[in-house]
Amino acid sequence: MKKILGKALRFIAKLAGALFLLSVVTTIIYRFVPPPITPLMVIRCYEQLTDDKKEVRLYKDWTSLDKISDHMPMAVIASEDQKFNEHFGFDVDAIEKAQQYNARHKGKKVRGASTISQQTAKNVFLWPSRSWLRKGLEVYFTFLIEVFWSKERIMEVYLNVIEMGEGVYGAEAASHTYFRKDASKLTKEQSALIAACLPNPRRWSPSRPTGYINKKKDWIVRNMNRMKKPDYLK
């Protein structure tokens, strides 16, 4: 029995070591190479395949950050993570505020506090879920990309893999889908509209904004106007 247990523990240790090494190597590779596909993209394609009313759609067009309008990264920072350029992957203040809010409003929609780094880690490496396992892995991969990637690279990957509509991923695909133009030509208002829809991009459309989305767009634009551009956008 002891021999079997010892072998099992050694196997688990070797497996854990191999997975750790694989995660680090993959993270380093993605520092230089665009992620070819993400788990969410695969899941969405499967959902479309099993829905007879939908055609399988996977529209993505990798575009370097210097070929995306500066308004786009500024819009997602203003909307999603205003301390993106300051924190090391996690906004402690936002997490505490979210916890306090959720404690006061039990039973209602849970408020999150995910940073752009966390969303990037989740989208590139993980699956959509609210389990503790997934959240723990999200923390781990967020740490890895903050160590091995620059803020510029995190933003570049984020703006290329984030879901921005039904089968639409990334700023370039969203720009062509909603505004019939390259991402380099996006205006401040158009960028803010795309950012405003990110919490639920399959429900809201930047090209057909509701009153709520227009109000959020205006709020994002106001934040953009008072924000300082990070060095990598100058």
What pLDDT is recorded for position 40?
96
Q: Tell me the C-alpha distance between 12 and 9, whole Å.
A: 5
Single-letter code of the amino acid located at 231: D
Higher pLDDT, 2 or 112: 2
- In this structure, of 2-6, 126-130, 162-166, the range with the lowest mean pLDDT score is 2-6
pLDDT digits (tens, 9 = 90+) for 189-228: 999 999 999 999 999 999 999 999 999 999 999 999 999 9
pLDDT digits (tens, 9 = 90+) for 130-161: 889 999 999 999 999 999 999 999 999 999 99
For the cut 70, the answer to whether the pLDDT of residue 12 exceeds it is: yes
Q: pLDDT of 28-85, one tens digit each?
A: 999 999 999 999 999 999 999 888 767 889 999 999 999 999 999 999 999 999 999 9
DSSP-derived letter for residue 165 is E
Handedness of CA 171, 35, 199, 42 (dihedral sign): positive
Q: What is the dihedral of CA 99, 104, 108, 114, to 10 degrees?
A: -20
pLDDT on residue 14: 84
What is the C-alpha separation between 75 and 153, in angstroms, rounded? 17
Predicted confidence (pLDDT) at residue 9 exceeds the cutoff of 80: no
pLDDT at residue 125 tops 90: yes
Q: What is the pLDDT of residues 90-108, one digit of tens each?
A: 888 776 776 665 556 565 5
31-228 classified as CATH 3.40.30.10: no
